[in-house]
Amino acid sequence: KKTMKASAAVITLFFLTTFYSCRPNEADAPVKAAREFYNALSVMDFKKASTFTTKDSKTIIELLESLSGMGGQVELPKETFEKMKKVEFGKAVINKNEASVPIKIGDESGSVLLKKEEGEWKVAFDKESLQELIEETNSEPENASPFSR
């Protein structure tokens, strides 16, 4: 009987250890969402990018999509989006239903704000982020930053 109890305990411990070691780290989820968002933007796939944004951010992404297709006064060069392919992501700092993920491209750094919606982390891309992107790309397209600050 002792051997059977010991075997059951070892098997239970093995399954618990395996279960918890294979479970994704909660701190990785915001980084993954931010990475997917930037990957989609880097190829100007605005529909896919909007799947990684908060409900409030979807209209901003739609506006960004329309601005990227306009000529004339406001034009967002493809180079701006291509820079997003080189984003380096730091470790997320989570505070309840909000997270901040440090990001860096070359010498420039900033952070991405994410919010938890319906159990999933979503990028909170707001009007200020869009305005900053437009101003930077129109003033210095070759040095434009894809960061929200």
User: Strand pairing of 98-105 and 120-123?
Assistant: unpaired
Report which of residues 69 and 73 the model is more confident about.
Answer: 69
Q: Provide the 3-class DSSP secondary structure of residue 131.
A: helix
Q: Is the pTM of this model over 0.85?
A: no
Average pLDDT over residues 77-100: 84
* Burial label, 6 (beta-carbon count in 10 A; 0-12, 13-18, 19+): exposed
Average pLDDT value over all residues in the chain: 74
- Give the model's confidence band at 148: pLDDT under 50 very low, under 70 low, under 90 confident, else very high: very low
